[in-house]
Structure 1
Amino acid sequence: MIPPLKRMTCNILVNMKTLLFRRTMTSKRLPQVTLTEGTVVGAEEKLPNGKLYYTYKGIPYAEPPIGKLRFEDPIPLAKFSESVLDCTVERDVPHHKDTISSTFVGSEDCLHLNVYSPTTAYHGTPVAVMVWIHGGAFVSGSGNSYYFSPEYLVQENVIVVTLNYRLGVLGFLSLPDAGISGNAGLKDQLMVFKWINKNISKFGGDANNVTIFGESAGAGAVGLHILKYFHKAICQSGSPLHEWLIQPDPIGKSKKVAERLGFKGGSQQETLEFLRNVSDLTDFQTHFFSILNDDEKRRGLPMSFKPCIERESPQALVTKSPIELMNQKNLLNIPVMIGYTSSEGIVTLIETCKKIDLYDKDLARMIPRSLNVPNESPSETEAQKVAELIRTFYFNGQPITDKLLNEMCRLQSDYHFVIGAHLYAEMHSRRQPNSPLYFYRFAYVGKLNLLKRLLILRLKVLETVRGACHCDEVFYLFNSKIMEIERLEKSVSTKVAKEMCELWTNFAKYGNPTPVNEQSTSSVKWDPVKPTKDGEKFVLDYLEIDAKSEMRTYPEKDRIEFWKNLYQKWNGGFLNAKL
């Protein structure tokens, strides 16, 4: 309950903001768009190149998922709270623990989206639309401009939509007997896609040319959506075939979190009612790690709440394993872009360094779950044999210490990201010949590699690890306020950023990142991966993105061949990954 004085202060601030907004409306013509829910009023801002663009921030796209709507699938919003809605500032983000400040932020009333459109979109041909799904292991982050301000993409003449969706327990609880089938967070995203299809033309966008793109968990979500929907898709450091994507025990995790909060046991309906009455949202965050089983804690990337396979129903979004769907021939006929950074594993090294001795004693924890090796405990004999093969290949048979961080980074990169990306590329090439696939590897290290820079501030020894960290490429596409960095016009970082923005937006516009037309200024021709027929050897052509980008063949070849040999022995082939 808000104390009276504080409540009075809040009301005064809200009234002052409303008064200021109304005065601004009368003194300056602000951009407006009328929707069936009401009118949204945005702001006119300047792009880095000096041109103008419009921003509409914090547009509600569904009913607030609070009270009895907590955990439920999103419900379309009928009307805004005001007939003319101030969308010059962002609204609440989803409740989560912010990874930068380590403080809890946001609320349940978080189903908002932001639209950024060039003024040219309102005069002439509708422009392509790009929809960004943020990462954060399905437990943290937001789509707001503090992290993802898209003006460098917008000035390439596209509309960018960023969104917030429910995270953690609130977004991925699964109690199907009580009517909560799971994946509410994914269904929030789907609600945004439906909103865009209905409304984006009013912002100058082409509802028939929409590209969804995301990074890490966001890329995994994109991969799940494109198995059913969409015109084009970009998966950055994630795909539907990454083994960390699908929750193996969604009902068990849902029951466990209730028990940790004091629930004494009962039916799924009773569990649901108990969790709906939890008043302090931070309680949901407190037990994320404790509800994991021992094997999940041992392997790393401990993601407690994430997408699950749902029971068949009209509302279900994911009813089959992604690998089962990808094995269906000719399932996709849309262009897809996918890739990863050269040293994804840097992001995991801070935690690894805290227990490097445990990795040395139990290297079997780095055997992928998708490899059909009995590996439930460090004592499994066959797992130990495979672990020694890993030690020989990555560490030259040496004991693992913090002197071998580059080697550990390569192993963690492969385990968490690279194997899954290569699996997706080969399966796509062999099963989806009508879907052009563009593969990339981001290797550039410059001043916009923000996550790597932040991690080095936390652990200085990471300076010795070469390559681009997980998430580093994102900050060449988006302007982020995590660290204020001037983009000097003639710097290499700015050149790489401009080239990437053009590649990404060309893909969104044309389905080809380097089309042959008068607008393209790229010095490189990015060729798609060639479809592979049965019996043919798979060849992975890809774009190496660096200070000078160029086409190459087969990234991490020796490492992937090592893993393919293991999959051949234990699974009968790479494409038989146990997912």
Structure 2
Amino acid sequence: MTPLTTVLLSTLCLLLSDEATGYNLTVKTNHGYVRGYEATSSANPNVTYYAFQGVPYGKPPVGSLRFQDPQPVPSWEGVINATSFKPTCAALETGRVAAGSEDCLYVNVYVPKTNKDNEELLLPVVVWFHGGGFTRGSSRNNPSYMIEKPLIVVTVSYRLGIMGFLSTLDKNAWGNAGLKDQSLALQFVKSNILHFGGNPNRVTIFGQSAGSASVEYQIVSPKSAGLFSQAIASSGSTLNEWGFNKNPLELTIRFARWFNITSNDTKEIVAGLQKIDWETLILNSQVYGKFLPSVEAESPNAFVSQSTYDLWSAGKFNKVPFLRGYNNEEGSYGKNSYTRYGNDSKTIIPAGLNMDLNSPEANEVINIITERYFPGKSYYNFTNAINFMTQHYFVRGIRKTSRDYVNSSTPLFFYKFTYVTKENYTRGANGGAGHAEEGVYVWYSRKLLNDEDVLMKDRHTTFLSNFIIYGHPTPKKDPLLQNITWPEASEGIQSVDDIRYIEIGRNLVPGINPDHEDFLFWRNLFRKYAKSTVYSY
């Protein structure tokens, strides 16, 4: 008997059997009944699992609730049919298309059919936050790889762009609604996952890119303390400048002017924007820049009300075991926009320095960065640009927060992903692993081309699931993982700036200090030139 079946029977839930179509599962949550179904793995037709798609965790954020902090889902009558996806959260998709829906606060729950010696044993849980730059993306990840492990997978939809991050820095729109959606989803999981056979005290949050930054936001926010016990983050940080808006109120006022809302009263601005249909808002939402996470005004409900740079530096975060890393050519995502550095060299100055771009110091910074990353002013060199963007937009912030994690004496396991095949997902500049490359070895993908790819998938899902289940990516010697023992990042280091890691390529290779010269370069640059409070790094 599986853990899920045990819980179903113990709570007198309904199990309807149909030989032709499999099971219809009805689970009683704290809010009402949901009906799921038995699904077949896309990767292995011999593997089936239980799927509950479109389970509500929050009240639909529509009408007067648009831009507001999320509210818990109220109880419902009858049975919710959780056998198909709900619409994705409203977003501006490729081709300037407004897609999705405002009514989008749902989770998908996937439960393996695993046999346990102890039928009372509850399964560990992993909660996934998708990427997409906080402006797009969805929770429709196919769990066929991870579901073969003895753990429950939960994927979360959260508000994006203007719907999730518009802010007036006051009670009319506090801001960071999308991050608060994630936290509310974690509250829902904490309160309800037992009904699906999950262990509410063994919840790991996991994200990639903006989802990775989201994981860090949950770690630094006191509002999410106690809602998860571990974390995994791939290729993103709260300090990456693509995921932060320093002046949210200015952007909101300017955007309102676009719709001829001329009042400076934030209540009137929000009321005016709430009257506009969501498609129109989405289509115009990036005319002056992107709506992103920001520092909120102090309030009892504030999610983040201080620079996360300061929070990390002071050790003010939820100290849970952490597995994280990045890919060696993250910057390949910008392969269509790298020419901007040659068109305007000021664009290489980090926003976190808070500099006057016309100052003599700004020219000094341009020259210093140019000498290191664009020798001979080779701004139009694709390889140089990819290397710069990898460090500038990703690695710099990731290494900074990881250093702070090591200094907190909290378990951290670090990696650098370098595995490539002939048909790389993102086609890095030098044949390296581009941004999001590792995702095809976590979520089901038809892009796995050969036995080496399958081996990488098996390795990647194994060390991830080991961490989720045991709190360590290599709890014992395993030939699949080449019998390595993954060291904690702080193990045997000689300096506070050191970090131990595993390089994930065709082999798993222990090392120390990935991209260390770049790390020291940026650290020294910020120490010399950063002005006032640092928000991004």
Aligned to 2:69: 73
Unaligned regions of 5+ residues in structure 2, if any?
Answer: 1-15
Correspondence for 2:193 among 185, 194, 200: 200
Correspondence for 1:485 among 431, 434, 447: 447
Aligned to 2:400: 423
Aligned to 1:190: 183
> In the alignment, does 2:150 pair up with 1:161?
no
For 1:448-459, list aligned pairs within 5 A. 449-450=424-425, 452-453=426-427
**How many Å separate the matches in 2 of 1:262 and 1:396?**
47
Larger fraction in helix: 1
CA spacing shift, 1:258–1:446, aligned 2, 3 Å: same
Aligned to 1:350, what secondary structure does the other structure show? coil
Offset, 1:242: 2.5
> In the alignment, does 2:430 pair up with 1:465?
yes
Aligned to 1:172: 165
Aligned to 1:376: 357
Correspondence for 1:442 among 417, 422, 443: 417
Offset, 1:448: 7.4
Aligned to 2:50, what secondary structure does the other structure show? strand
8 Å Cα contact 1:364/1:386 also seen in 2 = no
Unaligned regions of 5+ residues in structure 1, if any?
Answer: 1-21, 293-303, 454-461
CA spacing shift, 1:29–1:425, aligned 2, 3 Å: closer
CA spacing shift, 1:564–1:74, aligned 2, 3 Å: closer
For residues 409-428 of structure 1, give each alpha carbon's deviation from its aligned partner in whole angstroms, at most 9, with x where no partner exists: 00111110011111112222
Offset, 1:528: 1.1
CA spacing shift, 1:320–1:418, aligned 2, 3 Å: same
For 1:115-514, list aligned pairs within 5 A. 115-120=109-114, 123-144=119-140, 148-227=141-220, 228=222, 229=225, 230-279=228-277, 281-292=278-289, 304-329=290-315, 331-352=317-338, 356=339, 358-371=340-353, 374-377=355-358, 380-401=359-380, 404-430=381-407, 432-433=408-409, 435-446=410-421, 449-450=424-425, 452-453=426-427, 464-480=429-445, 484-485=446-447, 488=450, 491-514=451-474
Offset, 1:290: 2.9
2:525 is matched by which residue type in structure 1? L
**How many Å separate the matches in 1 of 2:232 and 2:448?**
27
For residues 120-174 of structure 1, give each alpha carbon's deviation from its aligned partner in whole angstroms, at most 9, with x where no partner exists: 2894311110000011111101111xxx211211111111100111111111111
Offset, 1:362: 3.0
8 Å Cα contact 1:429/1:531 also seen in 2 = no
8 Å Cα contact 2:477/2:485 also seen in 1 = no
Aligned to 1:92, what secondary structure does the other structure show? coil
Offset, 1:112: 1.0
Aligned to 1:120, what secondary structure does the other structure show? coil
Aligned to 1:97, what secondary structure does the other structure show? strand
For 1:520-531, list aligned pairs within 5 A. 523-530=483-490
**How many Å separate the matches in 1 of 2:486 and 2:477?**
14
Offset, 1:27: 7.5
2:436 is matched by which residue type in structure 1? C
CA spacing shift, 1:327–1:360, aligned 2, 3 Å: same
Size of the alignment, in residue pairs? 512
Moved more, 245-254 or 125-134: 245-254
**How many Å separate the matches in 1 of 2:482 and 2:153?**
21
Offset, 1:541: 1.1
Aligned to 2:114, what secondary structure does the other structure show? helix
Aligned to 1:11: none
TM-score of the pair, normalised by structure 2: 0.88
1:317 is matched by which residue type in structure 2? F
CA spacing shift, 1:132–1:309, aligned 2, 3 Å: same
CA spacing shift, 1:315–1:474, aligned 2, 3 Å: same
**How many Å separate the matches in 2 of 1:568 and 1:174?**
31
**How many Å separate the matches in 1 of 2:477 and 2:507?**
21
8 Å Cα contact 1:152/1:477 also seen in 2 = yes
For residues 72-105 of structure 1, give each alpha carbon's deviation from its aligned partner in whole angstroms, at most 9, with x where no partner exists: 211212233x511211111111011234x65332
2:421 is matched by which residue type in structure 1? G
Residue identity over aligned pairs, in percent, reads 31
For residues 288-332 of structure 1, give each alpha carbon's deviation from its aligned partner in whole angstroms, at most 9, with x where no partner exists: 44324xxxxxxxxxxx21112222222221122212222234744
Aligned to 1:12: none
8 Å Cα contact 2:60/2:102 also seen in 1 = yes
**How many Å separate the matches in 1 of 2:64 and 2:487?**
50
8 Å Cα contact 2:49/2:113 also seen in 1 = yes
CA spacing shift, 1:254–1:387, aligned 2, 3 Å: same
2:431 is matched by which residue type in structure 1? R
**How many Å separate the matches in 1 of 2:370 and 2:506?**
33
8 Å Cα contact 2:98/2:282 also seen in 1 = no
CA spacing shift, 1:87–1:331, aligned 2, 3 Å: closer
CA spacing shift, 1:449–1:192, aligned 2, 3 Å: farther
**How many Å separate the matches in 1 of 2:415 and 2:234?**
9
8 Å Cα contact 2:378/2:384 also seen in 1 = no
**How many Å separate the matches in 2 of 1:69 and 1:421?**
34
CA spacing shift, 1:53–1:242, aligned 2, 3 Å: same
1:124 is matched by which residue type in structure 2? E
For residues 393-438 of structure 1, give each alpha carbon's deviation from its aligned partner in whole angstroms, at most 9, with x where no partner exists: 223224433xx211110011111001111111222222x11x1111
For residues 445-486 of structure 1, give each alpha carbon's deviation from its aligned partner in whole angstroms, at most 9, with x where no partner exists: 126742x15xxxxxxxx6x53311111111210114xxx435
8 Å Cα contact 2:346/2:357 also seen in 1 = no
1:362 is matched by which residue type in structure 2? D
Moved more, 465-474 or 204-213: 465-474
CA spacing shift, 1:120–1:342, aligned 2, 3 Å: same
CA RMSD of aligned residues (A): 2.7
Aligned to 2:320, what secondary structure does the other structure show? coil
8 Å Cα contact 1:447/1:493 also seen in 2 = no
CA spacing shift, 1:201–1:396, aligned 2, 3 Å: same
Aligned to 1:282, what secondary structure does the other structure show? helix
**How many Å separate the matches in 1 of 2:115 and 2:198?**
7
CA spacing shift, 1:153–1:549, aligned 2, 3 Å: same
**How many Å separate the matches in 1 of 2:295 and 2:436?**
27
Offset, 1:196: 0.5
**How many Å separate the matches in 2 of 1:59 and 1:577?**
35
8 Å Cα contact 1:514/1:520 also seen in 2 = no
8 Å Cα contact 1:156/1:505 also seen in 2 = yes
Moved more, 205-214 or 71-80: 71-80
2:365 is matched by which residue type in structure 1? V
TM-score of the pair, normalised by structure 1: 0.82
> In the alignment, does 2:87 pair up with 1:92?
yes
For residues 16-58 of structure 1, give each alpha carbon's deviation from its aligned partner in whole angstroms, at most 9, with x where no partner exists: xxxxxx9979985412211232221111123334232101001
**How many Å separate the matches in 1 of 2:111 and 2:527?**
49
Aligned to 1:299: none
